Amino acid sequence: MKNLLIIIYLILFIHGCDEQTEKTESGNSLQLSKAMSDDVDGNFDKAIEKRKFIFPEDHGPHPGFRTEWWYFTGNLTSEDNKQFGYQFTIFRTALNKDSNERKSEWSSNQIYMAHFAVTDISGNEFYYDERFSRNGNELAGAQIDPFKVWLEDWQINQISENAVFELPKLNIKAGSDKAEIDFDLEAIKPYILQGDSGLSQKGKGEGNASYYYSYTKLKTSGKIKIGEEEYTVNGFSWMDREWSTSALSDDQKGWDWFALQLDDSTEIMYYQMRKNDGSADEYSKGTIINSKGNPETVKKEDVICEVTDHWESPDGVKYPSGWNIKIPSKNIDLKITPAVKDQRMNVSVKYWEGAVKIEGKKNGSVVKGRGYVELTGY
């Protein structure tokens, strides 16, 4: 469940809209959700029925679906105890399903976009960048064997023959003028299928859903470079894989999404779909993964999510900036605080996505943790 908005933006970008694209997120999301739910060509595959996930094939691209992404976030600590967060995502969008045979190597019906961000928590700084490319002329693409997803030199590469929990060791690499990352990732918990056995319904109506699986804990080590300074870091990442053709319904405005890694080796994923009136949609839901890697679905009614603070962007968009999440049935009560207030991705479509700190109680004991939160549609 990641950055749907951006994908929608891409679709608008491609399908066209003669109105000037509005600058505010809400302006976008309304128009774009329409574009998104509207399968113009009508021949893309849709996420309607449950399916069997097969690996390593499903790590690779699903060109029959309009959109897809490979999403990584993580919280890391350097040897001298500096804290960092990162986000790195490569998106794929198909312009149409059929790729007619053309002579030019450049011809392409797939567009790739990537977002990259580093949060220097100790330094209270946030760095981000964005890229676009076609998949023609090998500038961007995704393949299964060896597993590789790339947009120019921003790349996800398989670095081991053998797979653990169906996932080979990965190297991810990205950078901007100001910050660079180069990490090796290794799954230490099995993948989980989100939603109903991997079919994640996002809105009402058949097909407004995605196929969705996550690796909620990947051991991560490598280097972060900020300016001329290089840090050797260790920590944990979260990987999401999702593909779909349409997802949002007309009355949905955006979402708040939480990926929380607790230090007792529990992970919690929860997303709250917001309706136009700001209330939470019934399709909001989440998953709790215990230390053994077994998932358990939580429904909207199981979760109490309260906003405790706000942050306003320089251009006047007000975002929640602190939460209390309670899951009484599981005896969980967590206080979530952004690691840095301003972790807004000021890119083609603006959204807030950032590292968070977690403190609270689980079953009466104190727990801590780190995680990532994504806020769209504000």
Partner 1 sequence: MNSLTRSSLRYLFRHPWQFGLSVLGIAMGVAIVVSIDIANYSSATAFNLSMNAVAGKSTHQITGTSEGIPDSLYTKLRIEKGIRNMAPVIESYVSIPDSGKVVFKLLGVDIFAEKPFRDYLSQTGISLEGGLKDFLTRPNSVLLSKESIEKLKKQTGDTLSVLINGKMKTLYLAGLIDETSDNKSALENLFITDIASAQELTEKGNKIDYIDLILNNESEEQTLKNFLPEGFLLQKSGSKSETAEQMMDAFNINLTSLSLLALIVGLFLIYNTMTFSVVQRKVLIGTLRSIGVTSNEITRMIILEALIMGIIGTIAGFVFAYFISKILIVFLSQTINDLYFVVSVREIYISPAIILKGIGLGVFATLISAVYPAREASKVHPRSAMIRSEQESSVLRKVPRMTIIGIAIMLFGAVILYLPSKNIWLSYLGILPVIIGFALTTPLIIIIVEKIFSPVYKKLFGITGKMASRSILQNISRTYIAIAALALAVAATVGVGIMISSFRSTVINWLEARLNADIFVSAPSLISRRNDAVLPEELLNKIKEIDEVEDYNYYRELMLQQEGKEYHLIASGLSKRSYSGFEFKEGEPDEVWKKFEAGDVILSEPFAFRNDLSVGSVLKLKTDNGMRDFNVAGIYYDYASDQGLVTIKYDQFRKHWNAKGYSGIAVFVKDGIPVSSVKDKIQALETNGQQLLVRTYKYILESSIEVFDRTFLIAKALQLLSVIVAFIGILSSLMSLQLERRRELGILRANGLLPSQLFKIVNLQTFLMGLTAGILALPLGCILATILVYIINKRSFGWTMQFEIMPSILIEAMILSIVAALLAGIYPGYKMSKTSPANALREE
Query: Contact positions toward partner 1, by CB under 8 A?
Result: 13-18, 20-21, 95-96, 100, 102-109, 111, 132-134, 136-139, 150, 152-153
Asked if residues 91 and 112 have their Cβ atoms less than 8 Å apart, the reply is yes
Rounded to an integer, what distance in angstroms lies between the CA atom of residue 360 and that of residue 2? 25
Rounded least distance, CB 210 to partner 1, Å: 22
* Residue 180 or 353 with smaller CB distance to partner 1: 180
The smaller minimum CB distance to partner 1, of residues 143 and 290, is found at: 143
| Rounded least distance, CB 347 to partner 1, Å | 12
Handedness of CA 138, 139, 142, 144 (dihedral sign): positive
Nearer to partner 1, 94 or 209 (CB): 94
**Locus of tokens 């299964």:** 144
Please report how close the Cβ of residue 56 comes to partner 1 at its closest, in angstroms: 23
Please identify, using beta-carbon distances, which residue of 18 and 161 lies nearer to partner 1.
Answer: 18
Q: How far apart are the first and last CA of the chain?
A: 17
Per-position DSSP letters for 182-199, written without gaps between them: EEEEEESS-EEE-TBTTE
Q: How many CA atoms lie within 13 A of 153 on its CB side?
A: 6
Nearest residue (CB) to partner 1, 141 versus 195: 141
**CA distances from residue 154 to 88, 91, 141, 174, 353 in whole angstroms, order as listed:** 9, 12, 11, 4, 19
- Residue position matching structure tokens 């970008």: 13
Q: How far is the CB of 182 from partner 1 (least distance, A)?
A: 13
Least spacing, CB of residue 158 vs partner 1, in Å: 17
Q: Which is nearer to partner 1, 80 or 153 (CB)?
A: 153
Query: Residue 349 Cβ, how far from partner 1 at the closest point, in Å?
Result: 12
Residue 130 to residue 149: CA distance in whole angstroms: 16
Q: Between 94 and 358, name the residue whose CB sits nearer to partner 1.
A: 94
Q: Pinpoint the alpha helices (H) of 89-193.
A: none
Amino acid identity, position 299? K
What's the closest the beta carbon of residue 20 comes to partner 1, in angstroms? 7
Q: Do residues 184 and 222 lie in contact, with contact meaning Cβ atoms separated by under 8 Å?
A: yes
Residue pair 37/248 in contact by the 8 Å Cβ criterion: yes
